[in-house]
């Protein structure tokens, strides 16, 4: 059952992000960049679980419309830090809301109480999956997701949005052409 729901969610999320620079992976990168201080490209690649070469192409895709900027790391001039611009935050917020609508549609057959129960149960399952994939603290991710899914005041940049496609492995079109995705 989870596989059916997951596939439906991924299909709808990919559609919602189809014209976003870098698609789901570009959104994933922007989410990682928003959720913390400026970091070097290697740290972001490790956090989201993608090859550094693919990350470079994604950053290129996001730099084009001005969503991110690279700057020299003052602590080590060999490193480049990735920073989100105001335009990037606005684009991320717009897509985050679109992805929340995808989730709401997917859970539309449930009552609000059932939806809250399902979110709580999925949070427990995701936390138990941490032992299977320690790349990122999944408990932290699902807690952010769970908190974001609850009715809230104005969202902050620290919220990841309940719909981040973290498991998707679709590479950018440019990366696919190079065979790196």
Q: Quick check: 102 and 12 in contact, CB under 8 A?
A: yes
CATH number of the domain at 71, please.
Answer: 1.10.10.10
The packing angle between helices 52-63 and 23-34, to 10°, is: 90
Q: Does residue 174 fall inside a structural domain?
A: no
Q: What is the tally of structural domains in the chain?
A: 1
pLDDT digits (tens, 9 = 90+) for 163-174: 333 343 333 334
Give the pTM: 0.69
72: phi then psi, degrees, rounded to nearest 5: -65, 140
The reply to whether 172 falls in a domain is no
Please give the Cα distance from 31 to 43 (Å, whole number). Answer: 14
| pLDDT tens digits, one per residue of 121-157 | 988 888 888 667 665 554 555 455 445 554 433 333 3
């Amino acid at each position: 059952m989870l596989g059916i729901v997951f596939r439906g969610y991924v299909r709808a999320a990919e559609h919602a992000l189809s014209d976003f620079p870098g698609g789901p992976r570009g959104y994933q990168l922007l989410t990682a960049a928003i959720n913390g201080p400026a970091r070097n490209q290697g740290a972001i690649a490790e956090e989201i679980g993608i090859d550094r070469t693919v990350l470079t192409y994604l950053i290129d895709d996001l730099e084009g419309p001005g969503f991110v900027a690279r700057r020299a790391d003052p602590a080590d001039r060999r490193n480049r830090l990735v920073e989100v611009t105001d335009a990037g935050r606005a684009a991320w917020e717009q897509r985050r809301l679109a992805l929340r609508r995808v989730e709401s549609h997917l859970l539309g057959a449930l009552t609000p109480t059932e939806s809250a129960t399902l979110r709580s149960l999925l949070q427990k399952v995701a936390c138990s999956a941490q032992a299977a994939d320690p790349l990122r603290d999944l408990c932290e991710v699902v807690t952010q997701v769970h908190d974001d899914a609850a009715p809230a005041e104005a969202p902050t940049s620290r919220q990841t949005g309940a719909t981040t496609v973290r498991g998707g492995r679709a590479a950018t079109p440019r990366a696919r052409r190079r065979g790196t995705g």
